[in-house]
Copies of this chain bind each other. A is one copy, B any other.
Amino acid sequence: MAKTWKTEPAESLRVGADVRLADIDPGSTPGFDGDKKYGRQALESGAEQLSELQEKLFADSRAGGGKSVLLVLQAMDTAGKGGIVRHVVGAVDPQGVAHHAFKRPTEEELAHDFLWRVRNQLPDAGMIGVFDRSHYEDVLIGRVRSLVAPEVIESRYDDINAFEAEVAASGTTIVKVMLHISSDEQKARLGERLERPDKFWKYNPGDVDERLVWNDYQEAYEIALRKTSTEVAPWFVVPADKKWFARVAVQRLLIGALRGLDLGWPAADFDIETEKVRLATS
């Protein structure tokens, strides 16, 4: 892996208050020393690492540990959120994954604060939580489509930062990923869905409506990235025109987050020799 990653994605893909999306090439593969073939190899060997690290996280929780990891995925349609879940998260034992796709809010959800439904889906200790869309929709489509007053949108960034600081303090490592796709690549991917009968169900005419305000979304993303990339909950912009790169990069971010927890296997909380005797005579 040292050979494939010249620079860790945790460094090279991290963005801050000065991020400019237009300066990040969606077709680039920053930090990765290799092409698609090496990317696939890295994904395969990373799958085992990720799976073992998650098992340690799970074991730690059984021994009383309170740690968890939360992957937040945001992107324009077709950018590959689903592929990340299937090909990266899919390598982890389903018992250790809490996946939640946030849809258009229900009446009940709208009757609460915008973070209410998000709190309800936070991962338990030992789990990797995955948010497919998230509270960020409330400052993305919320902003682009003027779903609430501008001053409400403005107040939400602070609300989000306070919320995420609290979540992080409670033991959850937050990894926020924006999959960064180009408009041309999106057009190609939507076009493919219109050609294949096994993909029709993934096509939604509304996706074209959203394309028509592409620049507004880019602006809304940029504002959100600038205002909410914090020390405890940083944003990573992952170039996503190359699916293989986006997958191996997000996998590497997760591996890094889990390694950062520095977990070993929990010690036995029983007397091993006593138990051997009990078992033998049972």
Task: Tell me how many chains of this kind the complex includes.
Answer: 2
Report the count of interface residues on A (CB-CB < 8 A).
Answer: 42
Q: Which of B59, B94, B212 touches A94 (beta carbons < 8 Å)?
A: B94
Residues of B within 8 A of A86 (CB): 93-95
Most-contacted residue by chain B among A130, A187, A200 (CB, 10 A): A200
Cα A85 to Cα B265 with chains together (Å): 21
Is A194's CB under 8 angstroms from B276's CB?
A: yes
In the complex, are the beta carbons of B95 and A194 less than 8 A apart?
Answer: no
Indicate if the CB atoms of A132 and B95 lie closer than 8 Å: yes
Tell me if A151 counts as interface (CB < 8 A to partner B): no
Complex contacts, A190 vs chain B, CB 8 Å = 279
Q: At the interface with chain B, which of A4-12, A36-44, A201-209?
A: A201-209
A197 adjacent to chain B (CB < 8 Å):
yes
Q: Other CB < 8 Å A-B pairs besides A191-B279, A200-B272, A201-B266, 6 of them?
A: A86-B93, A90-B93, A94-B99, A95-B99, A205-B275, A205-B278
From the candidates B197, B198, B203, B268, name the one contacting A200 in the complex (CB within 8 A): B268
A interface majority secondary structure = helix
Question: What is the CA–CA distance of A90 and B190 in the complex, to the nearest angstrom?
Answer: 28
Q: Is A238 an interface residue (CB 8 A)?
A: no
Contact of A101 among B95, B130, B265 (CB under 8 A): B95
8 interchain pairs (CB within 8 A)?
Answer: A85-B93, A94-B99, A94-B130, A97-B99, A200-B272, A205-B278, A208-B275, A211-B279
Q: A263-276 vs B: 1/0 string, CB under 8 Å?
A: 00111101010011
Q: Is the CB of A85 within 8 A of B94?
A: yes
From residue A149, how far is it (CB to closest CB) to chain B in Å?
Answer: 29
Tell me whether B95 and A94 are in contact (CB under 8 A). no
Chain B residues with Cβ below 8 Å from A211 are: 279, 282
**Residues in chain B near residue A282, CB distance under 8 A:** 187, 208, 211-212
Task: Please encode chain A, from 26 to 61, with 1 for each CB lying within 8 Å of some chain B CB and 0 for all others.
Answer: 000000000000000000000000000000000100
